[in-house]
Amino acid sequence: MRNFLRSILASPPRILVLGFAAIILLGAGLLMMPFAHTQDVTPRFIDTLFTATSAICVTGLVVVDTGTYWTTAGQLIILSMIQIGGLGFMTMATLFAIALKRRISLKERLVLQEAFNQTSIEGIIRLVRKVVIYALSIELIGAILFAIRFMFDMPTGEAIYKGVFHAVSFFNNAGFDIMGDYRSLVDYVGDPMVNIVAMLLIILGGLGFVVLADLVDIRNPKRKLSLHSKVVLSMSGFLIVAGAVIIFIFEYTNGRTMGPLGFGEKILAAFMQSVTPRTAGVNSVDIGALRQATQFLLVIFMFIGASPGSTGGGIKTTTFTALIGAVIAMVRGKEDVVLFKYRLAQERVYKALTVTLFAFGLVITATMLLSTVEDQRFLMILFEVTSAFGTVGLSMGLTAQLSVAGKIIIILMMFIGRLGPLTLTYAIGPKQGRMLYRNAEGKIIIG
């Protein structure tokens, strides 16, 4: 038995998978306690499991309204799971180990390397310290700004509480809100302060901690932005601006969303809806009322997601950039994929293609399965599945209507989306030995 457990825990991907699963089960159990919910009847385990998975996987899809169904204690349990899920349970464990002055073992460093998607363990503990400092600092500033604004609409204590909750939720790209009645930020659609603070929290959480560390160190004249940071910043900026322009055009005359808003409010709403599908799950207009073209655009954005080492999901901006670079190189007849005058290793392009095809296959399979158990429009089902895989949390209204089978499918998609399809594959699959030979080269006709 001891050898069996040792073999299971020998793989960093398996430790991550089992660790996340254990915390989800613990959270689901806590949410079933009488002090966690406002109803007299104990919630079904499938509903608490769904909520716990959504919180740990920083998704934001909910089967019950967070602001009214759960008590303050229940909401704090959810908030704790969001923080653990956003930073990673190994980050939290390492933080406690550092506080207790305990040595971090090689295996723990390897797990952290897997969790942050790093290429080596060099400087991984310094990165953990930076992650915690940056996250808590940004969340604190966001909470203060939110609280100041909310004080105009509610008592001071409630304003501070909601400020903290939404700052942590938005920075971790979780999308949970306690505004009540599934409202999210609809009541603040034209409020500049709420929208700008929310978007900054979402963007900073989605850039990735490596990029944040790079941006902080850029003050040093001897330091330059890494290729990774340049790719993340440029692609993130392009997607946000391009998405806002397209949404502004598509929804300008939609009487159920942006039509009744003033010109400035339409710009705010367009940018918010462009930022949020990059795994945040916050909305300031009714997602179900958007035009189908806009909804499909959000599906594409949710599939792309945030950036590596961040609190977001999806195939990641760097993966998308590598694919675009490969297409451009092929069209131009070039052998190498070049980004910012740097050549990408062929292995990186293969990995980008593998991640994308894995993700595409998972979304297609889950969409087909969900279509068999839920009698809803195809776009609504595709939207729900992609939102779960990208750990986004946006919904066209299907989540609360899901059957038990549908909830299980979405739970699995949230779990896979948070860990990443490759991490799960490495955890489940056997360890491959080194190839001792290469097959003869063959040729097929492509295109």
Looking up tokens 């825990």 gives: 9
pLDDT, residue 362, reads 93
pLDDT of 204 > 70? The answer is yes
pLDDT of 97 > 60? The answer is no
Half-sphere exposure of 133 (CA within 13 A, CB side): 10
Q: Are 352 and 319 in contact (CB under 8 A)?
A: yes
Instruction: Say how many C-beta atoms besides its own lie within 10 A of residue 65's C-beta.
Output: 16
- pLDDT digits 0-9 by tens, 131-148: 788 888 999 999 999 999
Q: What is the DSSP string of 247-275?
A: HHHHHTT-TTTTTTS-HHHHHHHHHHHHH
How far the first Cα of the chain sits from its last, in Å, is 52
* Tokens describing residue 101: 């002055």
Looking up tokens 């909470």 gives: 143
- pLDDT digits 0-9 by tens, 75-84: 999 999 998 8
Query: Considering only CA atoms, which of 303, 286, 399, 443 is closest in space to residue 359?
Result: 303
Please, is 100 exposed, middle or buried when counting C-beta atoms within 10 Å of its C-beta (0-12, 13-18, 19+)?
Answer: exposed
CA distances for 156 relative to 151, 192, 373, angstroms: 5, 21, 46
pLDDT, residue 341, reads 86
34 Cβ neighbours under 8 A, 6+ residues apart: 42
Query: Considering only CA atoms, which of 259, 282, 206, 198 is closest in space to residue 237?
Result: 206
pLDDT, residue 1, reads 47
Mean pLDDT within 151-163? 93
The alpha carbon torsion through 172, 305, 335, 432 (nearest 10 deg) reads 70
Mean pLDDT within 406-433? 75
% of the chain with per-residue pLDDT over 90? 46
pLDDT, residue 42, reads 82
Plot region of 44 (φ>0 → left; ψ -120 to 50 → alpha; else → beta): beta
* Tokens describing residue 103: 């040595």
Alpha-carbon distance of 353 to 135, in angstroms, equals: 31
Banded model confidence at residue 418, pLDDT cuts 50, 70, 90: confident
pLDDT of 262 > 80? The answer is yes
pLDDT, residue 4, reads 43
Alpha-carbon distance of 121 to 205, in angstroms, equals: 22
DSSP, res 37: B
pLDDT of 374 > 90? The answer is yes
Banded model confidence at residue 373, pLDDT cuts 50, 70, 90: very high
Looking up tokens 């030979």 gives: 437
pLDDT of 381 > 90? The answer is yes
Alpha-carbon distance of 353 to 319, in angstroms, equals: 8
pLDDT, residue 201, reads 92
DSSP, res 70: B
Looking up tokens 């889950």 gives: 366
Is 109 or 350 the better-scoring residue by pLDDT?
A: 350
Q: Are 69 and 36 in contact (CB under 8 A)?
A: no
Q: List strand residue ranges (DSSP E) for 237-356, in order.
A: 338-339, 342-343
Alpha-carbon distance of 56 to 293, in angstroms, equals: 31
Strands 342-343 and 338-339, bridge-based pairing: antiparallel
Banded model confidence at residue 89, pLDDT cuts 50, 70, 90: low
pLDDT of 69 > 80? The answer is yes
Secondary structure of residue 183 in the 3-state scheme: coil
Is pTM beyond 0.75? Reply is yes
Alpha-carbon distance of 400 to 230, in angstroms, equals: 40
Please name every residue paired with 342 in a beta bridge, in sequence order, or none if there are none.
Answer: 339
Q: Are 176 and 66 in contact (CB under 8 A)?
A: yes
